[in-house]
Structure 1
Amino acid sequence: MACDSSYGPVLNNSACSQMRGDYIQCAKLTEICYDSKNVTDCVTAENCFYGIFQLYKTSNRSMYDIRKHCDDDLCYPELQDIEKYSNREDVKTALGANPSLVFHVRKADVGINFYNSGDWILPFDIYVSSLLESNVRVLIYAGDADLRCNWFGLDAWTKALKWSGTKGFNNANVTRWVTVTGTHSGDVRTFKELTFLRIFGSGHYVPHDQPIASLDFFNKWIFNKYL
């Protein structure tokens, strides 16, 4: 994503080569974590990938949108407004929330605790497989400018997912996702209950970047219509 996306390379060849080389060791450490389920092993694997992310940080691009030249916390000033709004007494009352609770858009110690428990590196695809085998529809989507949850990786793991429809999903055609406005807003692959949607012109916060397209796929999905 950082080296060969539709938006052009973010990193130079040297950094890209180092990332590809470092990944080999990170993948081995991840397998050790999966086998042992030991917190220390899992945190070691996380630290390896953290080093790769630090290489990306040298680009001064947002991890949530490779098109943006800004610090992640400053890329979306609207988040501060959301935090203020959510902490208003009348809003908490309307939501039935405990008035003593304080809403944070991002709270560092929560993320740190997940990291230190080894949770970040653990596999959760097995739960997706269980949903699919129970005939529960699953939509995986990604903005094509998002690095943190990049579409290359999401596309890869949906293809590698172990379930009864693995072969059918991989053989399914990628089709154009056209919204009600007639705009080609992304590409979609669907087989039985699993759908993967790549959304054009969007970073991590898809509704922020593509509100009309977001409403389109949300409504279609909720009302069980094909994208």
Structure 2
Amino acid sequence: MSKNIPVTAPSSQRANFTGQAGPFDTSTLGIDKVKQFSGYLDDDTKDKHLFYWFFESRGDPAKDPVVLWLEGGPACSSMISIFESIGPARIQEDLSLKSNPFSWTQRASIIFLDSPVNTGFSSSSEAINSTADGAKDLFAAMTLFFNRFPQYGTQDFFLAGNSIAAMDISELAAEIISHPHRNINLKGAILANGVIDYKTQYLAIRPMVCGEGGHPSVLSKNGCQALAAEEPACEKMIQDCYDNEDDEALCQKASVWCSPEKLSALLDRQGTNRFNVHEPCVGDADNSCNNASGQIEPFMNLPNVIQTLGVRGDKTWDYCSVEASKNLTDAGDHVRPHQRRLAKALDMKIPVLAYAGDGDLIGNWLGIRDWTNALEWSGHDAFKKADLRPLKLSSSGKQYGEIKSASGLTFARVFKAGFSAALDQPEAVLDLFERFTKGEWNSE
């Protein structure tokens, strides 16, 4: 158990992550040859225990940036991305492992952390029903991590995650910058097909599925007209939540009436790959139309994996926590205007990259383009005026997307990629990640 370390958080929601279990050396699992370890960051007073798995950079860990990776869902385990997107390995059908040469660990050390509590191997007797409260836990946990492992605390630190994790990242960035005396060297945030401005992105779903996003319509004319008819009422309900974000009933109403779940179910029934319209759905939608996803759960629950990771009690690993997700969605949390907290970070000169695989139908590139253009912050006018230009591989000059940037905000569209662009176009996304973390577009 580490020495007790005071962690500053607002007194109304004070987190007290003062202990840790581990680190447990995980190198025997064969994920990668780099230094790696897992463990828990503990707040024993509130029975909160956040599980993490850390991998050092394959490059120069003393100088390369450190990344905190959070999964979307809400309440899906970040361990998914160790094997499915940015992480160091891929799991084969026989549960053997294959190295990922385009892992972000080529250029960074990464903390994969299960959040909120009761997600993945994290646990608590308490529930979290707001992203803002979850951000306080994350801030306290990261403070403890860098106190426990100060050798990683001087490098540049980036927040990153996919889908609804963009909301967690926005709240956490705002929480971090609210503490002037901190040991977290925050230098930027990366949102992968991030859902953060619910109104703007809801209004981009119909155009995307009805043929305005660079791919033919996947719905009939009547289906598109039905979606259009629902938009005015939903736009008003979401705006009501934006204007009164502390009114849980208003946000719950918008969450129920303006959910894309019915559309997602329709797309699944007709065999459309809503995660990547460029490709057929392999397997089923529960596994993101990607058969490789189906290997992660059995691997993570192998007895030797559980033992090596230092997992407590008899807890088993699931992709996502139904209960933790329900606590957040029932409170209408994902409808709240989390983009306002991201604007605060940008105004404090924290660079943000929002990239999108252009085959994702729901958290789609049109919506991400639109919310970055609409975001109200000091660089709004400069960013909106910036032109899209070709995005090319540094190594070969081959174009893989489009990009625009101004005043610290960068938007990128990645061609022929879906919800998990790092899985579909791994070389391209690694190129994008490396250039952003080196500050290539920060001065534009």
TM-score, structure 2 normalization: 0.47
2:324 counterpart of 1:110: yes
Structure 1 counterpart of 2:422: 207
Cα deviation, residue 53, structure 1: 4.4
Distance 1:200 1:156 in 2: 17
The alpha-carbon deviation at position 114 of structure 1 amounts to: 1.5
Name the residue aligned to 1:28.
Answer: 236
Residue 298 of structure 2 is aligned to residue 84 of structure 1: yes
Residue type at the aligned position of 2:440: K
Matched, 1:48 2:257: yes
- Is this contact kept in 2: 1:172–1:190, CA < 8 A? yes
Task: Select between 100-109 and 158-167 the one with higher mean Cα deviation.
Answer: 100-109
- Residue deviations 1:143-175 (CA, integer Å, cap 9, x gap): 101122111111111111111110000111111
Summarize the Cα distance change of 1:216–1:57 in structure 2 as closer, same or farther, 3 Å threshold: same
2:161 match: none
1:180-219 aligned within 5 A: 180-219=395-434
Task: Give unmatched runs, 5+ long, in structure 1.
Answer: none
Q: Which moved more, 1:32-41 or 1:110-119?
A: 32-41
Mapping 1:115-134, distance limit 5 Å: 115-134=329-348
| Contact 1:89 1:99 (8 Å CA) reproduced | no
Hey, which of these two has a bigger chunk of helix by percent?
Answer: 1
Aligned to 2:276: 65
* AA aligned opposite 1:108: V
The answer to whether the 8 A contact 2:210-2:216 is kept is: yes
Q: What's the CA shift string for 1:61-106, capped at 9, x where partnerless? A: 23322345544114122123223333445556666x5344433222
For the pair shown, the structure with the greater C-alpha radius of gyration is: 2
Q: CA, structure 1 residues 94+214, in 2 after alignment: closer, same or farther (shift >3 Å)?
A: farther
Post-superposition shift, 1:118?
0.8
The Cα offsets for residues 20-62 of structure 1, whole Å up to 9 and x where unpaired, read as 1201100111122223332222121112222x54245323323
Aligned equivalents of 1:93, 1:188: Cα separation in 2: 44
Given candidates 8, 14, 20, the residue that maps to 2:222 is 14
Report the AA paired with residue 7 of structure 1. H
Over the aligned positions, Cα root-mean-square deviation in angstroms equals 2.2
Q: Secondary structure at the match of 2:428?
A: helix
What is the rounded CA distance, in whole Å, between the counterparts of 2:398 and 2:348 in structure 1? Answer: 34
Distance in 2 (CA, whole Å) between partners of 1:63 and 1:138 is 26
CA shift in 2, pair 1:53/1:161, >3 Å: same
**Which is worse superposed, 128-137 or 53-62?**
53-62
Q: Kindly, what percent of the aligned residue pairs are identical?
A: 28
Please say if residues 142 and 204 of structure 1, whose CA atoms lie closer than 8 Å, have aligned partners that are also in contact. yes
What is the distance in 2 between the residues matched to 1:85 and 1:55? 32
- Residue of structure 2 in register with 1:3 after alignment: 210
Higher mean C-alpha displacement, 12-21 vs 28-37: 28-37
Q: When the two structures are aligned, how many residues end up with a matched partner?
A: 225
Task: Deviation per CA, 1:190-223: give whole Å up to 9, x if none.
Answer: 0021000111001101111111111111111222
Q: Which residue of 2 aligns with 1:225?
A: 440
Q: Distance in 2 between matches of 1:225 and 1:83?
A: 38
Q: Give unpaired runs (5+ residues) of structure 2.
A: 1-207
Structure 2 residue identity aligned to 1:216: D
For residue 139 of structure 1, give the secondary structure of its aligned residue in structure 2.
Answer: strand
After TM superposition, give the deviation of residue 226 of structure 1 in Å: 4.0
Bigger shift: residues 192-201 or 33-42: 33-42
2:370 partner SS? helix
Tell whether the 8 Å contact from 1:2 to 1:56 is kept in structure 2 after alignment: no
Counterpart for residue 137 of structure 2: none
Which whole-Å CA distance do the structure 1 matches of 2:349 and 2:256 have between them?
37
The one-letter code sitting in structure 2 at the alignment partner of 1:184 is: Q
More deviation, 58-67/215-224: 58-67
Given residue 63 of structure 1, which amino acid in structure 2 is its aligned partner?
R
